Amino acid sequence: MSNKNRKRSIDGVSGAGEGSSKKAKPHAFFSSFAARKEEASLPPTQRATVRVEAPPTVEHYLHLDPFASPGSDNGGSTSSSKIKIAMYDLDGTLIQPKSGARFPKDATDWKWWDATVKAKLAEVHKEQFHLVIISNQNLKEKPLKAWRSKVSLICADVQLPIRVLAATAKDQYRKPGIGLYELLHDLYEAKGLEIDIENSFYVGDAAGRAGDHNDTDRKFAVNAGLTFYTPEQYFKGSTKNPAYLPFKGLDATAELAAMDDSPLVTPTSTPLIPASTKEIVIFVGYPASGKTSFYNKYFKPHGYIHVNQDTLKTREKCLAVVREEMTFGANGCVVDNTNRDKSTRAYYVAMAKQLHVPVRCFYFTASYQLAKHNNFYRAYVASDVPAAEKRSILPETAFIGFKNALQEPDETEGFDEIRRVNFKFQGTEEDRRLWSRWMS
Ligand SMILES: [Mg+2]
């Protein structure tokens, strides 16, 4: 459970006495008029939701301090340092819009998902569980404001110590990413406590069943190693277990196994690096498909120049560097761009013909899903990416753009050789475990 993101996140949270932190401003976020009116009618003991300092893309609230609550002997001074956590998704699990609309209209447009919800929360609280809501809320400013107000009303209605954690951007905190769970883990660790993961659980409605909008809740539980229940199982005693249902998207565990059995480069009949290295090599492939790592490992040691448009800014500059090296230099050039279509590649092929040097194409075959998986892994999950290879998350459009414009390289383009490069994940056993997580 150690990675850079988790370390970064705890810096934003004051571990001790967060409920009484000077930075916590009760009601400061309580903004909508209807919600404010409703909140004002509550007795003071129920208006206890405080905002906890958190990383910029995380909303963190605490309603009553779970460590100071009467009836809870598992915080502070006594007995066990292992805390059982009952975790819940919010929308479609604990609550639903009162209006019957798909999305809530305002802060007061909510009701409990089922009549049993409140009693069930009280029951697990009595059983010494700490209650935590884990929610994805990638909202614009106005609906986010209303959401904050709603949180206060929900917490006040429960009247139990409850913590709310929400991810407001598409980053490592968003489910199925487990950034929020790791944040929670660090919070307890800072208090000398440990989450009793064996006896903790997570309830969510996005389980990948027919009619579910997604399967991210079940993936979140798998990623975190938590027992998972649907709201139907948990609140209504349904015996329908979704565990056998397939997940959507890239099954990284299966991908890893397949990678181990496939060759890195095909065909394998000719040497990867020829005797004479004065040649132009054109890479083709998605962002995050392993192109630069492949260059560093196989071409760089042979003196090949790295030509990249992100660094050089324009195609003209890339072409100028290649021309200069092919005319006056002694080395080969690797054009490490996505080079997605024939017309882009034709510039380099034409130059090779003009200068009478060989031109080869290396096609990185990683799929759309695999490249996106790597993108997320490199930006948010990888623990040991060297600073030089460290990259921030690339937008979805970078992948869609490539997918839509891709023309697979073929012989008619004038290459002396086309090689296919299969993505092979490189890393330790721990890295493989992290890479195997569900990223989206
Ligand atoms: Mg939900």
Q: Which residues pair with 421 in a beta bridge?
A: 265, 364
Query: By C-alpha distance, which of 373, 370, 360 is closest to 422?
Result: 370
> For residue 100, is it within any domain?
yes
> pLDDT category, 22, cuts 50, 70, 90?
very low
Residues 151 and 236 in one domain: yes
pTM for this prediction: 0.84
Is residue 72 situated within a structural domain?
Answer: yes
pLDDT of amino acid 193: 95
| One domain, residues 359 and 230 | no
Specify the pLDDT at position 19: 38
Range of the domain at 172: 4-244
CATH code of the domain covering residue 376: 3.40.50.300
Question: Per-residue confidence at 409, pLDDT binned at 50, 70, 90?
Answer: very high
Q: Which secondary-structure segment (H or E) carries 149?
A: helix 141-158
Query: In angstroms, what is the span from residue 294 Cα to ligand 1's centroid?
Result: 40
* Phi, psi angles (nearest 5°) of residue 420: -105, 135
Going by C-alpha positions, the residue among 309, 286, 283 that lies closest to residue 296 is 283
The residues placing their C-beta within 5 Å of ligand 1, an ion, are: 89, 91-92, 205
Residue 206 belongs to a domain with what CATH number? 3.40.50.1000
Distance 217 CA to ligand 1 centre (A): 8
Q: Is the domain of 316 the same as that of 412? A: yes
Measured in Å, residue 9 CA sits from the centre of ligand 1 at 24
Please give the distance, rounded to the nearest whole angstrom, from the Cα atom of residue 369 to the centre of ligand 1.
Answer: 24
In this structure, of 34-43, 107-116, 128-137, 431-440, the range with the lowest mean pLDDT score is: 34-43
Q: Please compute the mean of the pLDDT values over residues 245-265 and round it to a whole number.
A: 92
In a domain, 399, yes or no: yes
3-class DSSP state of 333 = strand
pLDDT digits (tens, 9 = 90+) for 289-339: 999 999 999 999 999 999 999 999 999 999 999 999 999 999 999 999 999
Return the ∠ at Cα 90 (arms to 85 and 95), rounded to 5°.
Answer: 120
pLDDT band at 65 (very low <50, low <70, confident <90, very high): confident
CA–centroid distance, residue 321 to ligand 1 (Å) = 52
- Residue 389 is predicted with a pLDDT of 61
Domain final residue pick, 244, 272, 290:
244
My answer on whether 15 and 54 are in the same domain is yes
Nearest to 179 by CA among 59, 352, 31: 59
- H-state helical runs in 278-395: 291-294, 309-312, 315-328, 342-355, 368-376
Phi-psi region of 156 (alpha: psi -120 to 50; beta: other; left: phi over 0): alpha
Rounded to whole angstroms, how far apart are CA atoms 129 and 187? 16
Of 186, 217, 244, the position where a domain reaches its end is 244
Q: Give a yes or no: residue 250 inside a domain.
A: no
Q: How many domains does the chain have?
A: 2
| 216 and 280 inside one domain | no
